[in-house]
Amino acid sequence: MSDDLHGALARLQEGRLSAADALAHNVEVLRSESCRHAFIRDFVPQAQAAAAAADALAAAGVPRAPLGGLAVSVKDLFDVAGQPTTAGSRVLADAAPAAADCPAVARLRRAGAALIGQTNMTEFAFSGLGLNPHHGTPLNPVTAKLDGMARIPGGSSSGAAVSVAAGAAWAALGSDTGGSIRIPAALQGLVGFKNTARLTPIAGTIPLSPSLDTACAITRSVRDAVLLHEILADRQVRLTGRPLRARRLAVSRPVFQDGMDTTVAAAFERTLAALRAAGVQIEEIPLAPLVGLQPYRVSMVAAEAWAWHRPHLATKEAQYDPRVARRIREGESIGGAELLARIAARRAWIDAMEAELQGFDAVLSPTVPTVAPLLQPLLDSDEAYYAANGQMLRNTSVVNALDGCAISLPCHVDGELPVGLMAWSTAGQDDSVLDIALQIESLLASKAVH
């Protein structure tokens, strides 16, 4: 694959590309119509300096850092030294510049990233659609080329995904509390890896739900996802290369496959058929514990969000996106005793799910049940907005509630609107999920499924 981060790094090493030249193209894209509303603020001069410094060190014989001076974008949720962190809001418009990089950003910078800018997002990360009434909603650049329609980018890491899909960045730092990395990745034909939350630091970020928030990345390939995870988690991924035929995979029709549109259903079934034809064992399981998950999952996010936003809502509610404020206020009525009971219920639910998944290497499901919805109906109707938001988050948020890990990778045919395949498992199975995803990606490419 020549258009992913690994391909660019190889060209750097071979002397066929400089970080400065690569960045010049990224900047051109950043300033083009395809990235309209994708960035809240750019760091072009700083990125140019970082790329030039990386090239100078390489010319002096110093080995390039893992990211080689190439462009990486940062969601406007993470502290970047000298820049305000506003979470896509007007509420924090007067925030002071961050005194230091948050740990995730510091790790990217140490790895040689040329940080190109902070990306747009759903205000305070509280939606899976990616709409933002304050800074504008970036349109899905991949679907626009296919059908010319204005479709949502997915969220909450909307600008993050657009920056990668359009070509302004090679990878994007984002967050995933209920699917905010995997949803936009699926809707834009990208790869989004949500690691086990505790593996990556979320210090120096504006929280949505600290119990569920995860710092992770959107990339153009699974091998890039492995690299970014190694950098962000400061750990080495162990890939055994155990063949897919030796894996035990599962699918579950209830919940995960409900309401699939024809494009997603066709892509998902075609992918399962290709895997089975290659000798992969895939078993259908009911996953009974999924019944009853929704109430305490929603209440935890709302309650934790309410605790952080309460003082801001008291004085600045008029500056909030009304749809976001409404969702945060759902946590106002949840008392401490009730929240503790819901946390205990979640722990029991995780235990039940882990028991059901014992012996399986991963579960396969559609990342989201539909292709990217049209934007205008969601702008026009609260009812359509909330229905679509619930639909987008339904599959992905199961993994967050599970405290698990998951990756979304493309599984559509060229010419189709993007569809994501999600491979997921329980906490700590990150390396196995990445290993499986690498092999699925390779198989789909060889079979021309994607």
Tell me: do 140 and 282 sit in the same domain: no
* Tens-place pLDDT, residues 337-361: 888 888 888 999 999 999 999 999 9
DSSP labels, 307-365: HHHHHHHHHHGGGS-HHHHHHHHTTTT--HHHHHHHHHHHHHHHHHHHHHTTT-SEEEE
Tell me: cis bond preceding 34? Omega within 30 of 0 counts: no
Check: CB of residue 169 under 8 Å from CB of residue 39: no
Domain check: are 62 and 159 in the same one?
yes
Q: Tell me, yes or no, whether 225 and 276 share the same domain.
A: no
Residue 240 domain flag:
no
The per-residue pLDDT for 292 is 65
Give me the pLDDT at residue 450, please: 45
Q: Is the pLDDT of residue 448 over 70?
A: no
Q: Which helix (H) or strand (E) holds 443?
A: helix 430-446
From the CB of residue 229, how many other CB atoms can be counted at a distance below 10 Å? Answer: 25
With 90 as the cut, is the pLDDT of residue 446 above it?
Answer: no
Look at residue 111 and tell me if it is in a domain.
yes
Torsion 220-223-227-229 (CA) sign: positive
DSSP state of 3: S
Identify whether the C-beta of residue 204 lies closer than 8 Å to the C-beta of residue 79: yes
Report the SS3 class of residue 118: strand
Identified catalytic residue from 18, 127, 156, 209: 156
The sheet carrying 215-219 orders its strands as 39-42, 114-119, 71-75, 171-175, 215-219, 191-194, 405-410, 420-425, 362-366, 248-251, 281-284
φ, ψ at 330 (rounded to 5°): -65, -20
| Whether residues 358 and 397 fall in one domain | yes
Where does a domain end: 233, 255, 277?
233
pLDDT in tens, 277-315: 999 999 999 998 887 675 555 678 999 999 999 999 999
List, in sequence order, every residue forming a beta bridge with 11; answer none if it has no partner: none
**What pLDDT digit, counting tens, does each position of 96-106 carry?**
999 999 999 99
Number of domains in the chain: 2
Residue 437 pLDDT > 70: yes
One-letter amino acid for residue 75 of the chain? K
Same domain, 219 and 285: no
pLDDT of residue 319: 98
Task: Indicate if 267 and 148 belong to the same structural domain.
Answer: no
For residue 388, is it within any domain?
A: yes
Q: What is the mean pLDDT of residues 167-192?
A: 98
User: Which whole number is the average pLDDT over 81-107?
Assistant: 98
On whether both 416 and 268 belong to a single domain, the answer is yes
User: What's the whole-number mean pLDDT along residues 394-413?
Assistant: 97
In 3D space, the residue among 70, 388, 371 whose CA is nearest the CA of residue 219 turns out to be: 70
Residues 161 and 279 in one domain: no
Write the DSSP assignment of 211-242 as a string of letters. TT--EEEEESSHHHHHHHHHHHHTS-------
Residue 437 lies in a domain: no
Examine the domain organization and report whether 131 and 95 are in the same domain. yes
Cβ(168)–Cβ(35) under 8 Å? yes
158 and 121 Cβ atoms separated by less than 8 Å? yes
Indicate if 180 belongs to the active site.
yes
Would you state the pLDDT for residue 97?
Answer: 98
User: Mean per-residue pLDDT for 48-77?
Assistant: 98
Together in a domain, 131 and 276 = no
Q: Is 372 within the bounds of a domain?
A: yes
Residue 329 or 448, more confident: 329
Instruction: Find the catalytic residue in 75, 175, 252, 425.
Output: 75
> Quick one: 180 and 261 in the same domain?
no
The answer to whether position 439 is within a domain reads no
**Residue carrying the six token digits 């897919």:** 244
DSSP 8-state secondary structure symbol assigned to residue 121 = -
**Residues whose CB falls within 8 Å of the CB of residue 276, separated by 6 or more in sequence, listed in order:** 282
pTM for the whole structure = 0.97
Same domain, 192 and 270: no
**Which of helix, strand or coil describes residue 249?**
strand
Query: Smallest Cα–Cα separation from 253: which of 275, 286, 293, 288?
Result: 286
Amino acid, single-letter form, for residue 212: L
Q: What is the pLDDT of residue 338?
A: 86
Q: Is residue 106 part of a domain?
A: yes
In a domain, 282, yes or no: yes
| pLDDT given at position 17 | 98
Strand partners of residue 407? 193, 423
* Distance of alpha carbon 123 from alpha carbon 325, whole angstroms: 10
Q: Which residues contact 281 (CB under 8 A, 6 or more apart)?
A: 245, 247, 248, 249
Contact (CB, 8 A) for 154 and 130: yes
* Domain CATH code at residue 225: 3.90.1300.10
Task: Decide: residue 316, CB within 10 A, 0-12 exposed, 13-18 middle, 19+ buried.
Answer: middle
The domain containing residue 400 runs over which residues? Answer: 247-293+331-429
Assess whether pLDDT exceeds 70 at residue 139.
yes
Beta bridge partners, 71, equal 114
The catalytically annotated residue of 158, 180, 299, 425 is: 180
Rounded Cα distance between 386 and 407, Å, is 25
